[in-house]
Structure 1
Amino acid sequence: MNLSNKLRSLVLLAFLLPVLVSFKEDPIRVENKAEMLQKEGFVPLFNGKDLKGWKGLVGDPIKRSKMDAKTLAEAQKKADAEMRDSWKVVNGELQFTGHGNNITTVKKYGDFEMLVDWKIINNGTLDGDAGIYLRGTPQVQIWDNANLKVGAQVGSGGLYNNKEHESKPLTVADKKLDEWNTFRIIMKADRVTVYLNDVLVTDNVILENYWDRSMPIFSEEQIELQAHGSPIAYRNIYIKELPRVKPFQLSAQEKKEGYKVLFDGTNMHSWIGNTRDYITENGNMAVIPKPGKSTLGNNLFSREEFSDFVLRFEFQLTPGANNGLGIRSPITGDAAYEGMELQILDNEAPVYKDLKVYQYHGSIYGTIPAKRGYLKPVGEWNYQEVIVQGPKIKVILNGTVILDADITDARKNGAADGLKHPGLLRDSGHIGFLGHGNPLKFRNIRIKDLSGK
């Protein structure tokens, strides 16, 4: 091909490209995509033809749970009629007409991976605003980035209604109005990961319960496509349900004795602090440090404060793992000194060959040593019980008492390491897991309050 022919070809391609892009998806390509997703375990939530599998929105999960069957049925009938007037199937797209309420799945979902295409339809304004409710809870945000008045320049894909945990996306990955975007949303336990157009915008962030922030996110609820008064379209909506762990439950005896669960393997609602590195994973609280320091420090703390208590939990060490159990600790400052730290440590690792006696596992750090030799091999689960009553602290590891201490003397005369430990004088505070940048796991955490509150 000579130069002039090449130039003519390039000009022709430049002319045709916008036309080609404007074409609707090739039906054969769509069918192949559906077959591929089906092999991966995905099923369609929207068939591209009608509203089968969808219903109108009735209230919120808490309000619905309080309705009797008759009241709910009547409200659902009214909501369905409104849905059919507000949402239309047009050329294989699920379109919101600009008035009415959310559309929701008939089925409820727990853990899942979801794929959905969406586009904001340009109506000449800057009010493009929508979202996807996960387990009936708002929301993975969708909006027109040009709407600076509401802060939309941060981009879509964030957990907009979060207050305690991250709400904004990591970066802007939106396409222009009238162009299709694709979400890949993964919800496991109480955490959400979102990819927008193959770009990670929300990284394993806890979704808060908007309807009642004193509660964790619902374990199972419907998925909703939000209607916020501006036209939007959805297509290619697929979902793959993921296996869910069985929540840890107290034994009948523990219930009778007044224990309560602090971590059941399904959510982190009872904890504050570094929820970036402390995550829920297969029913465990896994410590998986990420590069860079968390803005919340290395520690995770109980939301509540405790004075006297019995704490029971299990932990699994990795080689050289170093963590600690904070008791009666404040949230700020060095918990090993401002509170008290009971060592959680693979103290048989070569790197710890020169430890002081009050630094081994189970010891009150810097103060009173615990017995050695009762940890299970690295990788096996250890069971630990900690009893705190006034100045007395007892640690039972795998059935053996390794610490039976009274800190009265240390309160008066100082700690063994000769350093200041003002936390020895504290009578109450938070329980914490005090990280040192090492991976390990915890599970089945429960507590009995002995303070008579």
Structure 2
Amino acid sequence: MKKLQILGILFILSNCLSAQENSVYENEGYVSLFNGKDLSGWKIPEGDGGHWNVIDGVIDYDARSEATGDKNLWTESKYKDFKLHVEWRFKGYGDHLFPLPTILPNGDYLRDENGDIIEPLGPNSDSGILIKGAGQVQMWCWSVGSGELWTVRNNKSLSPEVRAAAVPSEKADQPVGEWNSYDIILRGKRITVILNGITVIDNALYPSMLESGPIGLQHHGGINPETGKLMGASSLVQFRNIWIKEL
């Protein structure tokens, strides 16, 4: 009985803290992108089969979308410059280990004496916040940490300075299973990413950024048709407290 009472108290406290946080964003002029009940305001992939879902007040995804085209979840509305707050966590990993290269501060990969990329195997989940269809703010289990701007870092036509600025300054992720928070600030082609209160991307140039577009939650991985199991780096992920303020 005491255990049930304690759990009840914790549940009430959690709800109170969530309500206080919501009021803070409302007072600062943010608009909620997720009502905690259903996917109103979001475009569910056609033929998804219910794999993008709302469970216990959070957006839940199991990487098993049955959609034949785009499997990502997109907002119905489009945005230009904005501040975006979103909380996320990985629930677990895919069904096998995944090669996890080390990204160096300059954006290149760590290589051996033969020039081959060093890719030790490890458990990994992978997703991201899609920004106006131009790219993403990465979420994953790599040693470099989340927040990386994949399309910028991997564009070898860009200057070394631009590519290096797309690499997180440090790994600020919570362990798998625990909640993380992103605060993403986008003005024109400049983006800042704050992960759990730490600025990991600081006013980096995003050359391919579009003028306007929707916000997306990324599908990654999925079922291996040969084994019927989840591939490594699948999006076993949840999202909550999604707020946006247009600038």
Question: Normalising to structure 2: TM-score of the pair?
Answer: 0.71
1:353-382, Cα deviation, whole Å (9 max, x unpaired): xxxxxxxxxxxxxxxxxxxxxxxxxxxxxx
Residue 89 of structure 2: which of 94, 111, 119 is its match? 119
Residue 144 of structure 2: which of 146, 149, 154 is its match? 154
| Residue 167 of structure 1: how far off its partner (Å) | 2.4
Q: Distance in 2 between matches of 1:132 and 1:110?
A: 15
Residue 38 of structure 1 aligns to a residue in which SS?
helix
- Whichever residue aligns with residue 191 of structure 1, its letter is R
Structure 2 equivalent of residue 36 of structure 1? 24
Residue 94 of structure 1 aligns to a residue in which SS?
strand
Structure 1 equivalent of residue 126 of structure 2? 129
Aligned pair count? 186
Structure with greater proportional strand content = 1
- Whichever residue aligns with residue 235 of structure 1, its letter is R
| Residue 137 of structure 1: how far off its partner (Å) | 2.0
- Say if 2:220 is the partner of 1:228: yes
Structure 2 equivalent of residue 184 of structure 1? 183
| Residue 171 of structure 1: how far off its partner (Å) | 0.8
Residue 80 of structure 1: which of 16, 36, 46 is its match? 46
User: Which structure 2 residues correspond to residues 19-418 of structure 1 after superposition, within 5 A?
Assistant: 26-56=14-44, 79-82=45-48, 85-100=50-65, 101-123=71-93, 125=96, 126-144=123-141, 152-162=142-152, 163=155, 164=158, 165=162, 166-209=165-208, 217-229=209-221, 230=234, 231-242=236-247
Report 1 or 2 for greater relative contact order, CA contacts < 8 Å, sequence distance ≥ 6: 2
Q: Distance in 1 between matches of 2:207 and 2:59?
A: 28
Q: Distance in 1 between matches of 2:27 and 2:47?
A: 35
Q: Is the CA contact (8 Å cut-off) linking 1:122 and 1:177 kept in structure 2? A: yes
Q: Is the CA contact (8 Å cut-off) linking 1:103 and 1:224 kept in structure 2? A: yes
Q: Distance in 1 between matches of 2:19 and 2:84?
A: 18
Structure with greater proportional helix content = 1
1:67-86, Cα deviation, whole Å (9 max, x unpaired): xxxxxxxxxxxx3342x522
Residue 240 of structure 2 aligns to a residue in which SS?
strand
| Residue 238 of structure 1: how far off its partner (Å) | 0.5
| Residue 116 of structure 1: how far off its partner (Å) | 0.5
Residue 109 of structure 1 aligns to a residue in which SS?
coil
Is there any run of 5+ residues in structure 2 with no aligned partner, and where?
66-70, 97-122, 222-233
- Whichever residue aligns with residue 80 of structure 1, its letter is E
Q: Distance in 2 between matches of 1:97 and 1:203?
A: 31
1:232-278, Cα deviation, whole Å (9 max, x unpaired): 00001101111xxxxxxxxxxxxxxxxxxxxxxxxxxxxxxxxxxxx
Q: Is the CA contact (8 Å cut-off) linking 1:113 and 1:240 kept in structure 2? A: yes
Q: Distance in 2 between matches of 1:193 and 1:121?
A: 26
Structure 1 equivalent of residue 229 of structure 2? none
- Whichever residue aligns with residue 51 of structure 1, its letter is L
Q: Is the CA contact (8 Å cut-off) linking 1:131 and 1:138 kept in structure 2? A: no
Q: If you compute each CA radius of gyration, which structure gives the higher value, 1 or 2? A: 1
Residue 48 of structure 1 aligns to a residue in which SS?
coil
Q: Distance in 2 between matches of 1:154 and 1:201?
A: 10
- Whichever residue aligns with residue 199 of structure 1, its letter is I
| Residue 227 of structure 1: how far off its partner (Å) | 0.9
Identical counterparts, % of pairs: 36
1:303-347, Cα deviation, whole Å (9 max, x unpaired): xxxxxxxxxxxxxxxxxxxxxxxxxxxxxxxxxxxxxxxxxxxxx
Q: Is the CA contact (8 Å cut-off) linking 1:88 and 1:97 kept in structure 2? A: no
Q: Distance in 1 between matches of 2:175 and 2:207?
A: 29
- Whichever residue aligns with residue 105 of structure 1, its letter is T
- Whichever residue aligns with residue 24 of structure 2, its letter is M
Is there any run of 5+ residues in structure 1 with no aligned partner, and where?
1-15, 57-78, 145-151, 210-216, 243-453
Residue 30 of structure 1 aligns to a residue in which SS?
helix
- Whichever residue aligns with residue 15 of structure 2, its letter is P
- Whichever residue aligns with residue 169 of structure 2, its letter is L
| Residue 30 of structure 1: how far off its partner (Å) | 1.0
Q: Is the CA contact (8 Å cut-off) linking 1:55 and 1:104 kept in structure 2? A: yes
